[in-house]
Amino acid sequence: MPLAALALVVLLALLAAFQITLALGAPLGRFAWGGQHEVLPRPLRLGSAASVVVYAVIAVIALDRAGLIDVLAGSVARIAMWFVVGYAALSIAPNALSRSRSERAVMVPVSIALTALGLLVAIG
């Protein structure tokens, strides 16, 4: 389980770096938010910045659940990890239904990987 948690954190870090570049105005919008804007408008840039916080919280939950850190009380990490799995699983469909071929090609496999790694951590 620690290896799955570390792999999940690495993937989240890569996603965070991607979202930061989007928030800073990089012309990579075809890979996110429906792919309709090459450079994201301000509200979506703020959404990208906020997603970095979500990724950080998920990383803490996964690391705690794997026993690599100890910051959450009792069974909080175990329960929260199942929410993470559900959150990741729910991201597959919108990414698969995106009008952007680029977003579908990249984010569907990423969403599946997040779900699989999260599941391994949750059941570990």
> Confidence class of residue 10 from pLDDT cuts 50, 70 and 90?
very high
- Average pLDDT across the chain, whole number: 96
Mean pLDDT of 1-19: 97
pTM score, two decimals?
0.92
DSSP secondary structure of the chain: -HHHHHHHHHHHHHHHHHHHHHHTT-S-GGGSGGG--SS--HHHHHHHHHHHHHHHHHHHHHHHHTTS---S-TTHHHHHHHHHHHHHHHHHHHHHT-S-HHHHHHHHHHHHHHHHHHHHHHH-
